[in-house]
Amino acid sequence: MDHLGFLANFLAVIDEGSLSAGARRKGITQPAISQQMAALEQYYGCKLLQRSKSGTLPTDAGKIICRHALQIQETHNQILAELDTLDGSTAGRLKISTSQAIADLVLGELISDLHQTNPDLEILMQVENRVVDVVREGYDFAIRIGSQGQSDGVVRKIGALDIVLVASPAYLDANGRPNRLDQIEKLNYIEFSIGGANGFISASKEGGDVQIPVNIGFRADAPNLMQQALLRGIGFARMPRASVQHLLDQGDLEILLPEYRMAQRSIYIVHPHRNSLNRRALLFIDALLTKMAGTDYMHALRFS
């Protein structure tokens, strides 16, 4: 029995709430993961999973296994990270989670460059806008914008994005161009569903901080959907300037309230534990910071 692998898949089932969803996350079939769960129950001599209206849940025994499985998984990852430091090579796999926004802005060219200089480096990049749990899901690290998330792991800020309020000229022609804060609430706000505005967005003017009230008219869970909504005149949105500058240059979008400076969105690295970043991860992060520093409207911090 691949005990470590079976326990990792057990955690996936618990996280996802079903055998089928856990199997999809781990890239195996549902019958295979069912057999593995049965093997674990036989090994420990007790039932570990139970079905309920809210999905597949751990039994009391399953909760004990879950708690210790997390510790085993973290210890195993620490062993691999410490062994990795004995070898100066960057060969091997690097599993990363990132948002669509960061992937679109900097990662395409960066990964191509890294493959040319480090052909033995295998990068497994998962681009998704949900907040992954780097510990439970076995990621070397995650790159997050705005939200640090609630999952276990070490969080380190590596930079920030300049943010602007934008809308299409046609939308503003039809609904008015606000020149005061109280006029913004009359427009439809296009909100990113992760790390939303909660009715207000933060800005500053002449050193003073303000909260701008917004009327949410549309929510999207991906940057490209927000951009499409903007271009189709659904409303205005808060967007990274680096991702919309070409549309501003073309006249497809324009900035609202340019005299106000929108609060930047922080960029974070989240990794499983303090000593988990191996040579491959540090190589990638260093290349990421270099790329960010050379990109307009992105700001990189020193990573140490």
Q: What is the CATH number of the domain that holds 62?
A: 1.10.10.10
Instruction: Give, for all 304 residues of the chain, the pLDDT tens digit.
Output: 788 889 988 998 998 889 998 998 888 999 999 999 999 999 999 999 998 888 899 999 999 999 898 888 878 777 776 666 666 667 788 999 998 888 888 898 899 899 888 888 899 998 887 778 887 788 889 998 876 655 567 889 999 999 999 999 999 999 999 988 888 889 999 988 665 656 788 888 877 888 888 888 888 878 889 999 999 999 999 999 999 999 999 999 999 999 989 889 999 999 887 666 888 888 999 999 999 999 999 999 987 6
With beta carbons less than 8 A apart as the criterion, state whether 167 and 253 touch: yes
How many folded domains does the chain comprise? 3
Distance of CA 19 to the CA centre of its chain: 24
- Taking alpha carbons only, the member of 297, 288, 241, 10 closest to residue 123 is 288
Which three-class secondary structure state does DSSP give residue 188?
Answer: strand
Q: Say if residue 154 is in the same domain as residue 278.
A: yes
Q: Say if residue 132 is in the same domain as residue 281.
A: yes
How far apart CA 251 and CA 70 sit, in angstroms, is 51
Residue 7's domain comprises: 3-84
How far apart CA 146 and CA 243 sit, in angstroms, is 15
Please state the pTM of the whole predicted model: 0.71
With beta carbons less than 8 A apart as the criterion, state whether 67 and 94 touch: no
- Taking alpha carbons only, the member of 193, 196, 212 closest to residue 204 is 212
Q: Say if residue 107 is in the same domain as residue 52.
A: no
Q: Say if residue 108 is in the same domain as residue 239.
A: no
How far apart CA 140 and CA 298 sit, in angstroms, is 23
Q: Say if residue 76 is in the same domain as residue 133.
A: no
